[in-house]
Structure 1
Amino acid sequence: MRNPFRPTFGASPYHWAGRSVVLEEFARGLDGYPGEPSRSMVIDGARGIGKTVLLTELEDIAAQHGWIVLRATGREDSVRTLIDTTIPAKIAELAPPAGRAVTAVQFSGFRVDTELLDVPSPTPTLGTRMRDLLGLLRGTGVLITVDEVQDADPDNLSEIALTHQDLIRDEQHVALVMAGLTHGINRLLDLPGTTFLRRARRFELGPLTDDDARAIITATAAKGKPIDADAADLAVEIARGYPYLVQLVGYLAWNRAGSRITRADVEAVCAEAVQTMGSQVHAPSLKGVPPAQMAYLRAMADLIGDAADVSSSDVAERVGKKPNEATDTRGKLLDRGLIEAPAWGRVSFTLPYLAEFLRSDNRTTRVS
């Protein structure tokens, strides 16, 4: 029996819960007029919080409305890929190219001669490609999604944003959704030419509610191995509202269980789930974090214990600085989305189990 849980980044779960406000608002925007605010969205949040999955859901909604979906990622030359590959492929689907002219026709043993036309054309831009594509549509539009914004070239982001703005000014049916880590989205909104995106609908994805997490686990497990109520409660407690952990705990418990998932199954996989969270989420999130910021994070981890948050003054003292001297470091960690300020003078981690990871040796499992 195939495991229905999907602890893979970007893979849409078989059962969806939460984020309904974003989905519903986007669907209403597609039914509206050019320039609808909900046709321009930026989505940010921590790693594994569900940004890519949400992008996929928005793409599905657009496709159901008859829109063309163009997918880009910050980990490639997104503008060049759109111009040279993605948009031409969509145009070819809608209107197969005619590059030859018939020069002679023959029947009953005669032949047909054609001549390849050499028609010069200007160098295409993202704007001209988009207009060519939009010109083939009637009553629908084009959605561009850009994932992993934090890894994107700033010039690419600016060009996509400016093209989107120009098309809106010309009353074209276009939509743009960009997603990334919080510091990447903040950088995007500070780029020249993207200031209009500050007026776009911005959504910061937070943890799932306990009810939503329980609904996902229960409905997904019901596809073959029902989960006991107390086991579902424990899985929700372990996941702490983190979508990746919801899928991971369910996946591991399913593999261990017999005909149904019990509390003992969930208890048995807890340590493995937390360890996998460290290698798959914590380690990548900390990559490239400067030493001063890492020292601040480790001080937080030492002081916070099992509490929800810690005094920022205490953290500053632990790293040997006065509170005002640690403000810059604290601000940069806030921008990175690794910590948050739940109240004045308090800081907490945004990722579950990050404190435990920082207090450990941070090593992944080695196999022979």
Structure 2
Amino acid sequence: MVPPVMTGRTRPVREGYSVALVMAGLPSDVADLIAGERVTSLSRARQQYIGRIEDGEVKLALRRTVEAVGKTIEREALELSAASIGGFAYMLQLVGYFMWEEAWTSQVITAEDARRGIAEAREDFRRGVLEATVREMSEKDLAFALAMLDDSDGSRLVDIAARMDVTNGYASTYKRRLLKQGVARERPGGRLDFDTSLLREYLDEFYTE
């Protein structure tokens, strides 16, 4: 799909138009795509990572979308939704979609609609994103991620290395891999955290005793 799209972009570029391509996917898949031989123009393009979305912006986006079609949404429903999304763009899509489905025949999206929609969104995210992410991790990738579970306020590399019983240099290799895969993110000050708390919960539930 992407190579024909990229081939089709050359004409507007030659004519002086600016071109933007917006994609969503697992970070490791996007990285592989950008590095592919058939779409070298992607590797030369300027890349802009969306990052986390502030709760206020999440609530504003949901409210405006609902009100644009003449419906309303309860304040508690907005609060519940924003808390469950955690600034993660794809979860914003999922929660919004399933919450809307729950209130399909109503003019008001209630807190109960939000709770049911959130539960469905979390399950969809688990099947579509979390399971795929963990499946693509190597044994050492997973060991590194599991070593992060003991820390509630971010992990230091030295602590992770000690739990894995490896050197800091060896652990650094897997730190870079997990950052590239979108499994982990680096906080100001250098501590590591999971890119989404849902991954932490998933690993804690299915990969620890």
TM interval, shorter chain, is: 0.7 to 0.9
Aligned AA for 1:316? A
Report sequence identity in percent.
23
Q: Which residue of 238, 241, 255 maps to 2:84? A: 238
Query: Over the residues paired in the alignment, what is the CA RMSD in angstroms?
Result: 3.5
Query: How do residues 113-192 of structure 1 correspond to structure 2 at under 5 angstroms?
Result: 141-142=11-12, 173=16, 175=19, 177=21, 179=23, 182-183=27-28, 184-185=30-31, 188=34
Identify the match of residue 119 of structure 2 among 262, 267, 271.
271
Shift of 1:205: 1.4
In the comparison of the two structures, how many residue pairs are matched? 200
Classify the secondary structure of the residue corresponding to 2:193: strand
CA shift at 1:321, angstroms?
1.9
Q: 2:143, 2:176 → 1: CA distance? A: 14
Query: What TM-score results when the alignment is normalised by the length of structure 1?
Result: 0.46
Q: Alignment partner for residue 304 of structure 1, among 151, 154, 160? A: 151
Show the counterpart of 1:215: 60
Distance 2:203 2:187 in 1: 20
In the TM superposition, what is the alpha-carbon distance from 1:337 to its structure 2 partner?
2.1
Q: CA deviation at 1:176?
A: 6.8
> 3-state DSSP class of the match of 1:203?
coil
Q: Which structure's residues are more often strand, by fraction?
A: 1
Change (3 A) 1:172 1:256: closer
CA separation in 1, counterparts of 2:177 and 2:111? 41
Q: Aligned partners of 1:181 and 1:201: how far apart in 2?
A: 19
Structure 1: segments with no counterpart, 5+ residues: 1-71, 88-125, 135-140, 144-170, 363-368
Larger radius of gyration: 1
Paired residues for 1:84-103 under 5 Å: none
SS in 1 for 2:108: coil
Query: Does structure 2 conserve the Cα–Cα contact (< 8 Å) formed by 1:217 and 1:232?
Result: yes
Question: Could you tell me which residue of structure 2 aligns to residue 226 of structure 1?
Answer: 72
Question: When the two structures are superposed, what TM-score results if normalisation uses the length of structure 2?
Answer: 0.76
SS of 2:179's partner is helix
| Cα separation, 1, equivalents of 2:55 and 2:22 | 27
* Aligned: 1:336 with 2:181: yes
In the alignment, the residues of structure 2 paired with residue 261 and residue 348 of structure 1 have an alpha-carbon distance, to the nearest angstrom, of 33
5+ residue gaps, structure 2? none
Alignment of 1:11-22 (within 5 A): none
Shift of 1:194: 5.4
Distance 1:267 1:181 in 2: 26
CA distance in 2, matches of 1:202, 1:324: 29
State the Cα distance separating 1:197 from its structure 2 match: 5.1
Shift in Å, 1:195: 9.6
Over 3 Å counting, the alpha-carbon distance change for 1:256 and 1:355 in structure 2 is same
Q: Which runs of 4+ in 1 moved over 6 A?
A: none
Offset of residue 187 of structure 1: 8.2
Could you tell me whether the CA contact under 8 Å between 2:26 and 2:129 is conserved in 1? no
More helix by share: 2
Summarize the Cα distance change of 1:281–1:235 in structure 2 as closer, same or farther, 3 Å threshold: same
| TM superposition shift of 1:264 | 3.2
CA distance in 2, matches of 1:186, 1:254: 34
